[in-house]
Structure formats: structure tokens, C-alpha cells
Amino acid sequence: MELTAAQRQQILHLAKDIPTLWHASSTTNQERKEILGLLVKQVAITPIDAPERSTRIQILWHTGVTSILYALRPTTGQRFQTPNEVIQLIEELAPGRTDTEIALELNQRGLVSGTGRAFTKKSIAWIRWKFGIEKPLSDPIVAKSGVSPEGYYSTSALASLLGVGIHTIYYWRDKGIIQAFQETERSPWWYIVTPEVLDTLREKICRVPVKPK
């Protein structure tokens, strides 16, 4: 059924408000599909391999106008590939950060995964496994040494340094008196110790009353 001149004019008039309607937060995805159905009569997609891999998209609008667009297609092996920028950044952020914290940092920078999605704890763990990005502080040998190359202390090492029990260290950690982190859910706790932190903790130890014998 061919559109009348009046109907074409109505469609052209409505088209002026479509961008606003399309981007409105109140417009649902189903409504956007209905909008496309009202505007687009037919779509023809043709793959092209030369001179470069692309897709020719021919759109026939209900007004009778035809639009032709071209979109590049990824070559074999490039589809869903994790961007190099993301891999390098994860390598930089891995030491001393959880996968959740790494995902949050990447999302805040506006980066996306190879599938175009936001990062999660599981996606970061998968990327680290695929590209062999280790978490140094999760190494049992490093954890056993008590002090990491970055200057972080394990629970037992910090307790030994201050001459207190490990439960005192746990108490300070839970109260937020000293900052601590885990690289993974099952890895050891590491404590961020600076000279100022040590002074604060030693003052707390000195203020603890000594029980008379």
C-alpha cells in the first residue's frame, strides 16, 4: 500500500521529534522497536570482503527514500577481543587490588570489554587467567615472608612487629584503625603500614592499662 502525500508529510513532521522521543528515559526498548517499524519499510544487508571487510546496509524508509550505510566487520580472531589498553591496565592495577576494585576502576574510565559490556569481578578474573596476569600478593611464598616488596605487612608479621596478638590486628582492621585488603576472596590479608600508622598503633598499645598481678 502506497502512502499518500498527506501521510508522507505527517511522517516527516513526526520525524523531527523522533530523536527526542528515542533518547527519552521514559521510552522503552519495545517502543523503540515500534518506532523503527513505523519508519523503516525494508532493510537489506550485504556482506563485502574487498577492499576491506564491511557490511552494506540499505534502508528503505516508508517515505520512499533510501539510505545506504557501511559498517566495518572484525576479521577472524578480532571478534570479542579484549582491547590491549584494558589488558595493560589490568596488569598495572592487579598488585594490591581486588578484581572488584579493578572492574570498578575500568568502568569509571569508560572502558568496555571485548563484547562491549561493563566489567565485573568475574570478567576481570577471566581476563587475568587468559593472559596470565598474576596477583603477586596472593603467592604463598610472598605471603609466608610476611612483608611484600611494596611494603605491605601480613597479619602475623604486623603482630610480631608490634608485639601484640593477631586478634588485636583483626580488631584494629575491623574498626578501620588500620587499612587492609585482600587481592582475592581467599588470599591473605595485607596491611598498609606507614610510619604514621605505626606511631598511632604504638600509642594505642601504650595506653592499654596493665592489670596488676
* Domain regions of the chain by residue span: 5-72, 84-134, 137-207
pLDDT band at 212 (very low <50, low <70, confident <90, very high): very low
Q: Which amino acid is at 211?
A: K
**Cell numbers describing residue 34:** 515500534
Question: What angle, 0 to 180 degrees and rounded to 10, lies between the N-to-C axes of helices 195-207 and 155-162?
Answer: 60
> What pLDDT is attached to residue 167?
92
CA trace torsion 134, 135, 138, 142 (10° rounding): 90
Where is pLDDT greater, at 1 or 105? 105
Q: Which of 67-71, 75-79, 89-93, 113-117 has the lowest mean pLDDT?
A: 75-79
Question: Residue 193: is its pLDDT beyond 70?
Answer: yes
The class (CATH top level) of 137-207 is mainly alpha
Q: Which of 15-19, 72-76, 160-164 has the lowest mean pLDDT?
A: 72-76
> What pLDDT is attached to residue 14?
65
Provide the 3-class DSSP secondary structure of residue 162. helix
Percentage of the residues of the chain whose pLDDT score is greater than 90: 4
Question: Residue 41: is its pLDDT beyond 80?
Answer: yes
Question: Residue 77: is its pLDDT beyond 60?
Answer: no
Question: Measured on CA atoms in the order 112, 100, 151, 199, is the torsion positive or negative?
Answer: positive
Q: Which of 2-16, 100-114, 170-184 has the lowest mean pLDDT?
A: 2-16
> What pLDDT is attached to residue 198?
87
126-178 pLDDT per residue, tens? 888 888 887 766 666 666 678 876 778 888 889 988 999 999 999 999 988 89
> What pLDDT is attached to residue 208?
60
Kindly state the helix (H) or strand (E) to which residue 25 belongs, with its residue range: none
Segment 76-88 shows an average pLDDT of: 73
- Residues 6 or more apart whose CB falls under 8 angstroms from that of 199 comprise none
**CA–CA gap between residue 92 and residue 133 (Å, rounded):** 10
